[in-house]
Structure 1
Amino acid sequence: MRNSGLPEPRGEHGAGPHDDPLDGAVWRLRSRACWEDAAALLAPRAAHEAGPALRRAAVLAERCVFTGRGWQAAEDALRSAEALATDDEERGAAACERGHLAYAATLLGVRDRADEARSALGRAAALLARDSPTRPLLHFRRGLIAQHLSDNPSDATAAFERAHAGASARGQRLLTSFTWRHVAAMAEHDGRLAEARYGFAESLRIREELGYLVGIAPALASLAAVLPDPQEAARLRAEAGRLVRLLGGVPTWLAPRLTPTPGPDRPAETD
């Protein structure tokens, strides 16, 4: 079945014996913050196939989220994917990706595109079948908007829980890591710290098992923020800092959180 944007990794190193070797290579590169290289691998097929074009757009959008750079390249790739879409599933998946890119640009202060983000995700909801494999991702991204742009914790929690149930049922493990992370963030917001610790730990566990290196430092930092043991929290933040340095300063927005005393006013989580 087709999924929106980036393929779910499979197997120990992100590719199973029956998977497209291209998807496996793209997964290994993007998980190590090599988004330009991953996009270059997809470029030949992305020129005339809707699926690879959307995956390329999603790779470049992910670079924007983690680095705050490359917006025009992501926009260009997304327009190409939209032009190649031929059915409602592909059009809905492209709309879901556009909503996410607009959300990220708004959250990171590049340009206020909140209305565009909401409109695009609404269009995706109208296009995608109720049993579409993209539905869990759509729920997740609507939750992000409710959490960070609309400041509506109850809607955010409901959307994240729907996304979590759908991703878990479909075996979408990377998305399940993201949903655990944001379900935990909402529990932290409500002061349910034991639930928050569990959710953040599950998100970290899945990322480590998948080898999603670029996402491990944010997961470590989030878990550190809700640990009762200051020494253990400091150890996790130090490990997060080491990983950020290893990846050349990525994610760029994480550094302010890697301080000895985390607090509730730390920067919004974009991943």
Structure 2
Amino acid sequence: MRTSGLTEPWGPKGPGPQDGPLERAVWRLRSRACWEDAAALIAPRAADDPGAARWRTAVLVERCVFTGEGWGAAEDALRTAEALATDDEERGAAACERGHLAYAATLLGVRDRADEARSALGRAAALLAPRSPGRPLLDFRRGLIAQHLSDNPSDATAAFQRAHAGAAAHGHGLLLSFTWRHMAAMAEHQGRLADARHGYAESLRIREELGYLVGIAPALASLAAVLPDPDEATRLRAEAARLVRLLGGVPAWLADRLTPARTSSSPAAASPPDTSGA
């Protein structure tokens, strides 16, 4: 499968803090690929607050995913979050972060940590309460494991559908953009191109509404891959390439696939590899 999601869908109305001036500043920075600056803003609070420590971890993992760099800093932040956790909900949320980091490292070829990813997400499932607001994110990540590491489309589809319903119920806007994207990827894989176009378009719409600039180029490229009009597809890929240049070559895994030398008939050019995200 050529498209998917990998980045951390924390953000407006998702897990973690939302509405203060710090939260708004961090959102503006991370949505514009300024992850180090965003993490630095969170650092004072993250020293003794389990939720802020996980929030900082998520920001640093997102940097890893989009740039392929910074794995050590993300691992250090995660260990701090794990050490600060004091109850099952916090420990489960930290385990969910560990599973995501291990999954990302495996998918991007840094190191095979697939067993660690599965184990951590299983631990999170045992710790998080059934109605925890973190459950939709956990379901989404278990879907990623099924989709990309276990090659189990039926389990992946079921997990993404649960995550989608949970994200809608909890008002997790950015996570909804990821679940739309991944359900669209499953539809594309099954040849249901009309459903794929709808899902990719919804994912793009939400990202634009939220101002999640760093996630718009992958969404444009994915939608372009399933459009019947080659001129429109070319236009979307050109816009995606412009955004990648604007952000200094981020996402790194998308930049070399949006060059003029590639054509709409090239699958690699049509949509990014299995590494994007809500």
* TM-score after normalising by structure 1: 0.93
Q: Which has the higher contact order (CA 8 A, sep 6+)?
A: 2
SS of equivalent residue, structure 1 residue 268: coil
Distance 2:116 2:249 in 1: 30
Could you tell me which residue of structure 1 aligns to residue 275 of structure 2?
Answer: 269
Distance 1:133 1:121 in 2: 15
What's the CA shift string for 1:183-235, capped at 9, x where partnerless? 00000000000000000000000000000000000000000000000000000
Check conservation: 2:136, 2:164, Cα contact below 8 A. yes
Q: How does 1:1-271 map to 2 (within 5 A)?
A: 7-9=10-12, 19-258=19-258, 259-264=262-267, 267-271=273-277
Check conservation: 2:217, 2:240, Cα contact below 8 A. yes
**Equivalent residue pairs, number:** 261
AA aligned opposite 2:179: T
Check conservation: 1:57, 1:81, Cα contact below 8 A. yes
Distance 2:179 2:275 in 1: 12
Check conservation: 1:184, 1:200, Cα contact below 8 A. yes
Check conservation: 2:99, 2:118, Cα contact below 8 A. yes
AA aligned opposite 2:26: V
Q: Cα gap change, 1:264/1:7 in structure 2, threshold over 3 Å: closer, same or farther? A: closer
Gap regions ≥5 residues in structure 1: none
Shift of 1:267: 2.1
* Percent of matched pairs sharing the same residue: 80
Check conservation: 1:221, 1:257, Cα contact below 8 A. no
Shift of 1:8: 3.0
Distance 2:70 2:128 in 1: 28
AA aligned opposite 2:62: E
Q: Cα gap change, 1:9/1:118 in structure 2, threshold over 3 Å: closer, same or farther? A: same
Q: Cα gap change, 1:28/1:220 in structure 2, threshold over 3 Å: closer, same or farther? A: same
Shift of 1:20: 1.9
Shift of 1:270: 3.3
AA aligned opposite 2:160: F
Distance 1:6 1:180 in 2: 12
Shift of 1:135: 0.4
Check conservation: 1:193, 1:226, Cα contact below 8 A. yes
Distance 2:197 2:109 in 1: 29
Distance 2:58 2:86 in 1: 18
Distance 1:82 1:73 in 2: 14
* TM-score after normalising by structure 2: 0.91
Shift of 1:7: 4.8
RMSD: 1.5
Could you tell me which residue of structure 1 aligns to residue 5 of structure 2?
Answer: none
Q: Cα gap change, 1:117/1:221 in structure 2, threshold over 3 Å: closer, same or farther? A: same
Shift of 1:95: 0.4
Distance 2:255 2:195 in 1: 25
What's the CA shift string for 1:75-123, capped at 9, x where partnerless? 0000000000111111111100100000000000000000000000000
